[in-house]
Amino acid sequence: MNSTISPRTRFYTPEEASRMLPLVGAIVSDVVELYADVHERRGRLALIRQQRQRSEDDNPYEAELRQSEADLDADVAKLDEYVDELLVLGLELRDPVTGVVGFPSLTDGEEVRLCWRLGEDEVGHWQSLDAGIHDRRTLDDGYELGDDEDEGVDA
């Protein structure tokens, strides 16, 4: 067994990963939508706080600002819950902006990630563990399903 493989990793075949897309797609859709909203609100709140620091006047909207920050914190916690849902499935959120997810897999005895991006109909890409999110390769490009990987493997 390859020493870089985690002892409890669940490995997926492309077919198994594709069958999970209704559930994974719903989670990732929520992540992408909420992440964009959180990112935008975080930027606005930072700008407001920066402008407030330059002003020595009391802010009549301080309570609203604190509530907005509390709401933002709650949504960040919700994002963490979505990521945890993916982790429970053994998946890795690779990019919350575009919704790229990695499914652990094996090709030629090496641990790799099958890659899926929100909006794609099936899992059709893969990458090595050290590849960036933009270095996806099609399954036709070097991915080989070994005999012991036909039904997925729990290591």
pLDDT digits (tens, 9 = 90+) for 21-62: 999 999 999 999 999 999 999 999 988 888 776 665 666 677
Report the pLDDT averaged over residues 131-136.
88
Task: Write the single-letter amino acid at 104.
Answer: P
Q: With 60 as the cut, is the pLDDT of residue 117 above it?
A: yes
pLDDT of 149 reads 45
End-to-end CA distance of the chain: 9
75-80 LR contacts (CB < 8 Å, sep 24+): 75/34, 75/37, 75/38, 75/41, 76/38, 78/34, 79/31, 79/34, 79/35, 79/38
Contacts of 133 (CB under 8 A, 6+ apart): 94, 95, 98, 100, 115
Q: With 90 as the cut, is the pLDDT of residue 87 above it?
A: yes
pTM of the shown model:
0.81
Report the pLDDT averaged over residues 66-78.
94
Q: With 80 as the cut, is the pLDDT of residue 18 above it?
A: yes
